Every structure is written in C-alpha cells, then in structure tokens.
Structure 1
Amino acid sequence: MNPINGLKAVLHRVGFAMRESGQALERVGCRLQGIYSFEEKLNRHATVLPMRYNVPALDKTSWVAPSGMVAGSVTLGENSSVWYGAIVRGDFQPVTVGSNSNIQDAAYVGATSEFSGPVTIGDNVSVGHGAVLKGCTVGNNVLIGMNAIISEHVEIQPGAVIAAGSYVEEGTTVPSGEVWAGSPAKKLRDVRPGEAEYLKSLPSRYTELAGEHKGIMKVLKMKQAEYFS
C-alpha cells in the first residue's frame, strides 16, 4: 500500500473511533441526567399544515398517511382518506372532500392559482393513484382513474367514470353514468349496471384499509411512548 494512502486510512479510522467515543460519552451523560431525546426518531414531514391563516378541518374518523399532506383551507369528511404521497392543497382555493372518499397514493388535489375555482369532491369518490384534480367539481360515486388529469372548471356528475390516463379539458361537463376516456377525454360508453354497483362498493374497501393502516400507526406510536417513558 502507498504510505500516504496508508496514513490516510489510519487517520480515518482514528477519527471514526474518536467520533464514536464522543457520541458514546454523550449518550452516557444524557442517561445520567435523565435525558433521552437522543433516542427519539424524528419525522420532519408534517401531514397537516395551516396555510394563509386557514387550518385544515379533518373529521376525527378521516386519515392522512404519514407521507401525505393536507394544507390550508381543506375539509375532509367522515371516513375519508389521503394516502401515501398524496397532496391536498387549499392554499389558493378551498378543497372540500365528502364522506367515504379516498385520495390515493401520489395524487394531487387543489387549485393551481387564485384564478382557479375551488375543488369539491362528493361522497364515495375514488381518486386513483397519480391523478391530478385542479379547480373542479366531482359528484358522488365517481371513479377517477390512475394518472387522469381533471382541469379547471370541469364538472363530473354523479356515477361517472374517468378512465386511467385520461385528460379532461377545461370547462367540460361529464354527464352522470358515462365512461370517458382519451386525451382529450370523450365519451366511451355508458356505465354498465355491474360497474355502477362496483363504484358504490369500492370506497368502502379503502375505508376499511385506511382503518388498518391507522391502527398500525397507533400501535407504533404507543410503542414509542412506552419506550421513551
């Protein structure tokens, strides 16, 4: 080994040992003083944020995933959920989500500017993974497919379906009971009877699943509290 590289390796190991020794002494000193903050596992991500003097109003039965975010003038109804990586922003305009609705992983819901309209999402609505909803109105029992984009001033009437990957142009009205697909989205066909029943049952599955995830998080918090007590 090159003598210079050998010296660098020795210095690196000595420095590492000194740092570890210092940290060990710090931990011992903290324990002697009854300080255990060094053991806390910090999560810097805030799931619920006030914005422009508006604080989100979340029903006690709703759930926001640890990596999800709800900010500003947002109302989340009974048993509704915001999943991992999903963002619901009420900074420019209010966002209202009804009961038993779910905003799935990595979706975005909100206004893009002060000129956008508010976002209103009804009951029993499923917003698929990666979907984007901007300044629109969504009726009850609607399914928004994965990665679909809903533009400003769009109205999706109750019982409609927006297929995955679709782009619904600004100002469009999607009539009740229709399936729309494409970019720009157009009517593909009517919703079949079996599909209508599926639309009503799908949100309840997410409500149950959210309850399981919420329960796991509660247990983890209890274990942490016991550990630090």
Structure 2
Amino acid sequence: MLALNLVKSVAWRVGFAVRESGQALERVGCRLQGIYSHEEQLCRHMPSLPVQYDAPSAGPSSFAAPSSLMVGNVSLGRSSSLWYNAIVRGDLRPVSIGNHTNIQDSAYVGASSEYSPPVEIGNNVSIGHGAVIKGATIGDNVLIGINAIISEGCQIESNSIIAAGAYVEENTLVPGGEVWAGNPAKKLRDVKPEEKTHLKDLPGKYADMAGQHEEIIKLLKMKQQEYTL
C-alpha cells in the first residue's frame, strides 16, 4: 500500500512539473512571436464606472481603494477617500462628496430611486464602516457612526454626531452640535468640546492613511509588472 502511494505521489509530481514546464515554454514562445493573449489585460474590478453620460470624478489627492466602487454621477472632493468595499452610487441621483471626507469600509452612499433627493456630503465628514446614506444632506465636520442608517430626506447639520447603529428616520433634521442615537434616533446630548476637536482631526488621519495605502498599492503594481515582464 505504501509503495502504491509513493508511485502515485511521484506520478503527480512529475505531471505537475511537466505541465508547469509546458506552460512556461508556451509563454516564452508567445512572447518571442509578439503574442500576448495569455496575459490578462483587464482588471477584475473597476473602482470607477460610468453610466450612460455620467462618469465619476475625483479631486486631487483623493483615494479610492481597489475594491471600492463609484458609479455614475459622483463627485469625490479633494483629499477625500473611499475605502475597501465602500460603494457610492450616482446612477439614480447625483452624489456630491466634499473635501477631506472619508467613506469607510463597506459603507453605502446613494439614492433609493430616481425620485430620491440627491446626496450632498460636506467637508471633513467621516462615514463609519457599514453605514448607509440614502438621499440625505450632511454638513461639515460630521461623524456618522458604524452601521448607522441615514434615511431619505434627512438633513444632518454641521458638527453633529450620529451614534453607531442609529437609525435616522426619513426627513429628520438633526441640528448642529448634537449627538443622536437609537432606533429611531433621538437627541442624546450636546457634542462635547473634546468631541468637536475629534470631528476636525479624524478626517486628517484618514487622509494620511490613504496616502500610505496608495503608496503600497503603487509598489505592488510595480512588483506585479516586474513579474510579468
């Protein structure tokens, strides 16, 4: 039995070596003939996707992670960042995102239908992981917590905080300088002075981190190109 297993193992290894050698020789032959059909030229994922006559636009020093997605009429401001698996859809209604704003991992921003209000997000806004923004207006220096939901027609004024997991009902006005929490969300308290400082500092940290991630991605692309040459 052991001898049979040994023979099978040797046969598998020899077959693997022959197959790999054949594929390597084929690639060399193709390159010598100027044939590059064996190389994948298309990216498996397109972070920016036009729809009809609308294409996303991104400002200087902005960052969109490779697995993120911007669709249609989307404007991403200067030094803003769209993180991994985050989706911003402007195929139904326009989406405007200000400067130094971060849309964190797995968040969704867009409209529910063509009748929804456009999405307007101000400057220095942080939208937490898994948060959902639908047809809402968000002012400057706002923090939307992890997995929070902002429904259509909502207006979140500047310097306010929506707590993690909060559900803000349709057409709700959240005054500036307040913390809202719960389902449905209600005013919890006023924003503390140290929280106001955090609201202004957090976007800068994400901007710095976006630059680091972009440098790493560029380096990986260079290494990949060296490998394929």
- Give the TM-score of the pair, scaled to structure 2: 0.88
Give the match for residue 183 of structure 1.
Answer: 183
Which residues of 2 match residues 1-229 of structure 1 at below 5 A? 19-20=19-20, 22-35=22-35, 38=38, 43-228=43-228
The verdict on how the C-alpha distance between 1:21 and 1:218 changes in structure 2, with shifts beyond 3 A counting, is closer
Judge which range, 98-107 or 213-222, deviates more: 213-222
1:225 Cα deviation (Å)?
Answer: 4.0
SS in 2 for 1:196: helix
User: How far apart, CA to CA, are the structure 2 residues paired with 1:197 and 1:162?
Assistant: 16
Give the match for residue 5 of structure 2.
Answer: none
**Cα RMSD after superposing both structures:** 2.7
User: Structure 2 counterpart of 1:175, which letter?
Assistant: P
Check whether the contact 1:131–1:146 (CA below 8 A) recurs between aligned residues: yes
Post-superposition CA distance 1:24-63 (Å, at most 9, x none): 3322312432545646586300000001320011113111
User: Structure 2 counterpart of 1:158, which letter?
Assistant: S
User: How far apart, CA to CA, are the structure 2 residues paired with 1:226 and 1:109?
Assistant: 37
User: Structure 1 counterpart of 2:76, which letter?
Assistant: L
1:18 Cα deviation (Å)?
Answer: 6.5
User: How far apart, CA to CA, are the structure 2 residues paired with 1:210 and 1:10?
Assistant: 49
Give the match for residue 4 of structure 2.
Answer: none
User: How far apart, CA to CA, are the structure 2 residues paired with 1:20 and 1:100?
Assistant: 48
Check whether the contact 1:68–1:86 (CA below 8 A) recurs between aligned residues: yes
User: How far apart, CA to CA, are the structure 2 residues paired with 1:216 and 1:11?
Assistant: 41
- Give the TM-score of the pair, scaled to structure 1: 0.88
User: How far apart, CA to CA, are the structure 2 residues paired with 1:157 and 1:180?
Assistant: 12
Structure 1: unaligned runs, 5 residues or longer: 2-7
User: How far apart, CA to CA, are the structure 1 residues paired with 2:38 and 2:169?
Assistant: 52
User: Structure 1 counterpart of 2:118, which letter?
Assistant: P
Check whether the contact 1:145–1:165 (CA below 8 A) recurs between aligned residues: yes
Structure 2: unaligned runs, 5 residues or longer: 2-7
User: How far apart, CA to CA, are the structure 1 residues paired with 2:35 and 2:52?
Assistant: 37
User: Structure 1 counterpart of 2:108, which letter?
Assistant: Y
User: Structure 1 counterpart of 2:96, which letter?
Assistant: T
User: How far apart, CA to CA, are the structure 2 residues paired with 1:28 and 1:201?
Assistant: 53
User: Structure 2 counterpart of 1:94, which letter?
Assistant: P
Aligned residues: 228
User: Structure 2 counterpart of 1:76, which letter?
Assistant: L
User: How far apart, CA to CA, are the structure 1 residues paired with 2:36 and 2:209?
Assistant: 35
Judge which range, 118-127 or 38-47, deviates more: 38-47
User: How far apart, CA to CA, are the structure 2 residues paired with 1:52 and 1:111?
Assistant: 17
User: How far apart, CA to CA, are the structure 1 residues paired with 2:200 and 2:132?
Assistant: 22
SS in 2 for 1:186: strand
Check whether the contact 1:36–1:228 (CA below 8 A) recurs between aligned residues: no
1:88 Cα deviation (Å)?
Answer: 0.4
Check whether the contact 1:105–1:129 (CA below 8 A) recurs between aligned residues: yes
Percent identity over the alignment is 63
User: Structure 2 counterpart of 1:216, which letter?
Assistant: I
1:222 Cα deviation (Å)?
Answer: 3.2
